[in-house]
Amino acid sequence: MTSPSPAHRSGYVAIVGRPNVGKSTLLNHILGQKVSIISRRPQTTRNRVTGLYNRDDVQVVFLDTPGIHDARGLLNRRMVDEAVGTLDEVDLVLFMIDPQRESDPARDAGLIARIQKAGTPVLLVPNKIDKIPKEELLPLIGAWAAAGDFQAIVPISAAKGSGVGDLLRETVERLPEGPAWFPKDQITDATERFVVSELIREQAFHLLDKELPYALAVEIEEFQEGEDIVRILARLWVERDSQKGIVIGKGGAMVKRIGTSARLQIERLVQTRVFLKLTVGVDPGWTRRQHAVERLGQFRSGDK
């Protein structure tokens, strides 16, 4: 490990806001190519790491704070209290609103007060400004500015990307100097995919009682992180039709069992609900290539 240069900044940033304001869209835009979507829990158990923004001089750990916005009923209100409680553990809060839909900040006065009570700096982020004429936007922002104590107000369009550069600058500026909390190159989407494919393979081997030791490979065809569910499509590759029958089982019973136990394992890993769909394909070449790639992959990670 290299020692952190003095100018390196790092910190935890919580993105809060009602469902559909555009939190995921913003994250996808910020993370872009540099995305390291990870779902392991960091030090605090209540927060969920949603993604890392890495640059040579900075690492921003973006957190999801589930349940902060929908307080109906006592149980939900408890959850909100918990979520708001975590806000004093982060360095900065991005409070995202859809100014057109949430045109009256007084309706959110309770939420604003609770966020503010954490004492953490808050940036107000009005999103979807591409939908609002400027002459309507300015008074709306004015009303929101008066409703809380915000360090800055940074209007953006997460979908179009406008203002996102400013938001990143305003964010990084407010983070303390510090080292990267996560490896900058090791925690990648690919790694998580690999771990997931291994979990599936493990369950397949376990349930098939080692009937197909080297004839089975797993390909993750889709890995999508949603608001509260991870959607995974995976294909189990075998070399021959007869093996395909074994993996599928009578009336699909075997592949179903593999899917269920793999899903439970994956849910434990990513700490959220998982939708897992498994299909089975036959391709001797693919299976052999896959094993070769995996062996190569092991050498590579040893080199780095």
Which residues of this chain interact with ligand GDP, rule CB under 6 A?
A: 17, 19-25, 127-128, 130-131, 157-159, 227
Query: Which residue number is nearest to ligand GDP in terms of Cβ?
Result: 22
Residue 22 or 51 having the CB closest to ligand GDP? 22
Contact 104, 31 (CB under 8 A): no
Q: How far is the CB of 223 from ligand GDP (least distance, A)?
A: 17
Q: Which residues contact 106 (CB under 8 A, 6 or more apart)?
A: 147
Separation of CA 90 from chain center: 17
Residue 24 or 116 having the CB closest to ligand GDP? 24
Collapsed DSSP state (helix, strand, coil) of residue 125: strand
Q: How far is the CB of 267 from ligand GDP (least distance, A)?
A: 21
* Tokens 């209540």, located at residue: 46
Q: How far is the CB of 242 from ligand GDP (least distance, A)?
A: 44
Residue 107 has what DSSP assignment?
G
Sheet order of strands, 48-55 included: 48-55, 58-64, 9-17, 92-97, 122-126, 152-153
Determine the size of the site formed for Mg ion (CB under 5 A). 3
The residue within the footprint of Mg ion, chosen from 227, 252, 277, 300 (CB under 5 A), is 227
Residue 104 or 227 having the CB closest to Mg ion? 227
Sketch the per residue contact string, 5 through 34, with Mg ion: x for CB under 5 A, - otherwise.
------------------xx----------
> Hey, what are 157's tokens?
């369009």
Separation of CA 247 from chain center: 32
CA 294, CA 292: separation in Å to the nearest integer? Answer: 5
Binding site for Mg ion (CB under 5 A): 23-24, 227
